[in-house]
Amino acid sequence: MKVTIDNITLDVEPGTTIMQAARMIGPEVAPPAMCYYEPLQGSGGKCRACLVKVTAGSEKDPRPMPKLVPACITAVQDGMIVENTVNEAVLETRKGIVEFLLLNHPLDCPVCDQAGECHLQDFSFEHGVSSTRTVEERNTFDPVDLGENIKLNMNRCILCYRCVYTADQITDGRVHGVMNRGDHAEISTYIEKAIDNDFSGNVIDVCPVGALTDKTYRFKSRVWFSKPMDAHCSCDKCSGNVTLWYRGEEVIRVTGRKNQWGELKEFICNTCRFDRKKTSDWVIEGPTEVSRHSVISANKYGANMIRPAFPIAQAARDFKQIDDNRDRSFLENKSILPAKK
């Protein structure tokens, strides 16, 4: 099937979603995803961050779709034409989505463990505006302990339901779901029953924001001060393939390995995640390739440094307003800027 995304045409298998097709092209045209998580069945369609415009439904029926559609769950049709970064309405809507997601968000990045690898940070940096229009009081929740090793801070949650699907699909017996409605909805282990099974720690990795954090790593370091290393061990519960996060000689955190979209390649067990914190527990493979989180890779592995075209274009637009002597030579590099429509 042929599909055209932002004027780039490619061939895909039937049943591919717009998101998958766009990711095949690359991060420049891939819509942002806050709730969609490819390894989890049924995820997606909730955050509306990936809404795109379909200007032609298919070869047979070239009418445009009346509403913006979520790229993550819409299957491509032969001859479909999709506009993502080149459509003003899409970008305008996305600004609105950022605003909605941040509306009741505490914006406590300076004290949040997720800062630096937070999808909401990336999303609002790439698509949001710099100021807020809300003057209302934000909804707040008390932080809750989910078992010994997981902390739930509902204030930061964007209700993507990823952890719910994880609890449903990876762990046996769900003790974890959503209670209440609307902006008072909260993730809960029904009457605070702790999640205690071998794979519960994966909810930390799937969480796009700092709502679910690792208590063994809590306040230990900023993510950009730590060095990620791929490592493995022989584990009888999981594959044992993990990423170790070093600060100096010390392993301060263990997570699953993630792909360039921030999705786990494999789910790992709690023993690997919370208990194996010595270098001697692991066989080190080498430094992790970090391509998505610029703040982690910045000045660390030069080759991996990424410069997403869109935020740079955005920065170029806003840069003029600030009169200082910052280095703006990267703005001269035409090859990384998107072509004007």
Partner 1 sequence: MKILTQHIDVPGIETIDVFMKNGGYKAVEKAIKTMTPDEVTEEVKKSGLRGRGGAGFPMGMKWSFLAKPEGVPRYLVCNADESEPGTFKDHYLMWKSPHTLIEGMIVSSFALGANTSYIYVRGELMYVINILEKAIQEAYDKGLLGKNILGSGYDLDLFVQPGGGAYICGEETALLESLEGKRGNPRNKPPFPAVKGLWQCPTVVNNVESIAATSWIVNNGGDAYAAIGVGRSTGTKLISASGHIKKPGVYEIPLGITVEEFIYSDEYCGGIRDGHKLKAVVAGGSSVPILSADNILTTDAGEKRLMTYESLSEGGFASGTMLGSGGFIVMDETTCIVHNTLTFARFYHHESCGQCSPCREGTGWMDKVIKRIETGKGRMEDIDLLVDVAKKIEGNTICPLGDAAAWPVAAAIRHFRDEFEWHITHPEEATKPGAVYMRPGASWSN
In whole angstroms, give the CA distance from residue 41 to residue 315.
36
Report how many residues bind partner 1 under the rule CB under 8 A: 36
- Which listed residue (48, 227, 277, 300) binds partner 1 by CB under 8 A? 48
| Closest approach of partner 1 to the CB of residue 176, in Å | 13
**If binding is defined by CB under 8 A, does position 181 make contact with partner 1?**
yes
For 159, left (φ over 0), alpha (ψ -120 to 50), or beta? Answer: left
List the 150-152 sheet strands across, edge first. 144-146, 150-152, 212-214
Q: What is the CA radius of gyration of the chain?
A: 21
Tell me whether residue 161 or residue 245 sits nearer to partner 1 (CB atom): 161
Task: Specify the stretch interacting with partner 1 by CB under 8 A; choose among 106-114, 173-181, 212-220, 260-268.
Answer: 173-181
DSSP state, residue 302: G
Subset of residues 76 to 115 that bind partner 1, contact rule: CB under 8 A: 93, 96-97, 99-101, 103-104
Cβ contact 64:57 at 8 Å: yes
Among 14, 60, 130, 133, binds partner 1 (CB under 8 A): 133
Q: Which of 130, 180, 234, 321 binds partner 1 (CB under 8 A)?
A: 180
The answer to whether residue 158 forms part of the interface with partner 1 (CB under 8 A) is yes
Q: What is the 3-state composition of the chain as percent helix, strand, coil, each rounded to the nearest 5?
A: 25, 20, 55
Query: Per rule CB under 8 A, is residue 134 in the interface with partner 1?
Result: yes
The candidate with the shortest Cα–Cα distance to 215, out of 203, 226, 225, is: 203
Task: Count other C-beta atoms under 10 Å from residue 257's C-beta.
Answer: 20
Stretch that binds partner 1, among 11-19, 43-51, 210-218, 303-311 (CB under 8 A): 43-51
Of positions 178, 194, 306, 315, contacts partner 1 by CB under 8 A:
178
For residue 300, what are its two tokens? 């660390």
- Asked if 179 and 126 count as a contact pair (C-beta separation under 8 A), the reply is no
The amino acid occupying position 22 is A
Out of 10, 28, 38, 46, name the contact with partner 1 by CB under 8 A: 46
Considering the rule CB under 8 A, would residue 128 count as an interface residue with partner 1?
Answer: no
Sign, CA torsion 44/166/257/117: positive
CB 83 within 8 A of CB 55: yes
Check binding of 174 to partner 1 (CB under 8 A): no
Using the contact rule CB under 8 A, the part of the chain among 67-75, 145-153, 200-208, 322-330 near partner 1 is 67-75
- Contact flag: residue 185 with partner 1 (CB under 8 A): yes
Q: Which is nearer to partner 1, 90 or 229 (CB)?
A: 90
How many CA atoms within 13 Å lie on the side-chain side of 310?
Answer: 19
Tell me the window of 78-86, 176-184, 264-272, 286-294 that interacts with partner 1 (CB under 8 A): 176-184
Q: Write out the H or E segment, with its range, that includes residue 122.
A: helix 119-127
Shortest reach from residue 46's CB to partner 1, in Å = 5
Can you list the positions of beta strands (E) in 185-341?
Answer: 186-188, 212-214, 227-232, 241-247, 250-256, 283-287
Between 97 and 264, name the residue whose CB sits nearer to partner 1.
97
Contact between 311 and partner 1 per CB under 8 A: no
Report the interface residues with partner 1, using CB under 8 A: 44-49, 51, 67-68, 70, 73, 93, 96-97, 99-101, 103-104, 133-137, 139, 158-159, 161, 177-178, 180-185
